[in-house]
Amino acid sequence: QAMAGLRTRGLDRVLPTLKQPLLGICLGMQLLFEHSSEASRIDAPDDSSARSTDCLGILSGHVQRLPPSPSWPHMGWNQIVSDRAAHPLLDGLAANDWYYFVHGYAAQADVSTIAYCDHGLRFSAAIARDNVHGTQFHPEKSAVAGRRLLSNFLSLT
């Protein structure tokens, strides 16, 4: 439904052309990828009969359902790990900071990943490529660390 809304408004053509910094949060980050299984049947927990939804395609990759274990959906506080060189979006964030997640689907960690999290599988917690940024967690619900990340993003503009 989210992609349908973007298409109806013509934003699926506009967003990939933006030169300004872009930040996708949670589902907004997932929509940056090529495809998602999130619009698939809810009663197909392993995505075996899932159909894929075409997303914005700004980033390569597929958003998939998280495994049922340790819990599904992933809701609550978790830490992220960054093993790449420092990125301005993560400036000033500490390894022991906590972030609030609420999602059942995620993109696997790949070349655009600047921080990842583990919850049944390793997934992208934060991504960045050129002017495009995203967080799977909700910075607006992540207290001091979230405010710092949003401040970092605003400094990119």
Burial group, residue 99, by CB count within 10 angstroms (0-12, 13-18, 19+): buried
119 is a catalytic site residue:
no
What is the dihedral sign for C-alpha 81, 2, 5, 44?
positive
Instruction: Say which residue the tokens 């998280």 belong to.
Output: 66
CA pair distance 96, 81, nearest whole angstrom: 9
DSSP at 138: B
DSSP at 150: H
User: Active site residue: 34, 62, 87, 138, which one?
Assistant: 138
38 is a catalytic site residue:
no
140 is a catalytic site residue:
yes
User: Active site residue: 26, 35, 55, 74, which one?
Assistant: 26
60: left (phi over 0), alpha (psi -120 to 50) or beta: beta
CB-hemisphere CA count at 13 Å for 101? Answer: 26
Q: Which residues are annotated as catalytic?
A: 26, 138, 140
